[in-house]
Amino acid sequence: MEKDLLENIKYCLKKVIDNNHNLVAAFDADGTLWPCDVGKEFFHYQIKKGLLKNKMPDPQAEFDCLYEEKDRKAALIWLAQIQSGFSPEQINEWVSGFLKEKPFKVFLFQKDLIHWLVDNKVNVFIVSSSLKCVLDQALKGYNIPTENIIGVQTLIKAGIVTNKPVLPAPIHKEKVLSLLEKTKGINPFFVAGNTLADQALLESSTQLRLVVSTAQKGERNYDSERKLLKIAQDRAWFYQEGMPDLTPSLFSNQ
């Protein structure tokens, strides 16, 4: 069934590709390319290793408080802001250590589709609310240039990460603004996402959309994924329900 869906998507995409040029495709990352949230997993790694101990006594409590008292956007930007004061090289070293210590598996379906799009000269972008510094390394092996990886980040000044966010931040509806800024106003012809946070990005597609729904009941994204799945079914979008085949990431040892 999964193979049939993939071939059907490729067939529909190919008809558009054969009659157009300068095409853009966009994918969310967490929950769409892999079943985990790499940005938050890196944050937990930093706490465990004591990398943020000079910043605050209880980073997790700070994040939870911001998330609950303000909003999700502010909390996700804060995950980038707490990297301030360090060099990009230091942060990249931490990210490398995180990915080697906590390797994760990725969805084979989406990896295959991205490689196929790249082979067919489609300009593929990743638009995610996770940290760009984590995504840049997590996406090695996907043949996507780093300039096409859009994640939450702050400005770098004099070789040091600052706490000033790069705006628009790719969160909720601003995912569309972040993408269009990179593509110089070209809308994607294909978008893949998994939660209501990706709905605006999916609706920005001019042709085709894929909704990924893999969260199990009781998991954080379950309700949001089910609501987006219902939208996909009602609008006759492509949708992938249930956990697709997993394959080791570049950093996995299995």
Q: What is the mean pLDDT of residues 71-93?
A: 96
Residues 2-248, CATH architecture:
3-Layer(aba) Sandwich (3.40)
Domain boundaries, the chain: 2-248
Phi–psi pair at 238, nearest 5 degrees: -70, 145
Query: How far is it, in rounded angstroms, from Cα 233 to Cα 211?
Result: 9
- Quote the pLDDT of residue 185: 98
Instruction: Kindly give the interhelix angle for 2-17 and 108-119, rounded to the nearest 10 degrees.
Output: 20
Does residue 254 register a pLDDT over 60? no
Length of the chain: 254
With 70 as the cut, is the pLDDT of residue 1 above it? no
pTM: 0.96
Give CA 101 to chain center in angstroms. Answer: 20
Separation in Å, CA 254 to CA 112, 140, 169, 247: 19, 17, 34, 9
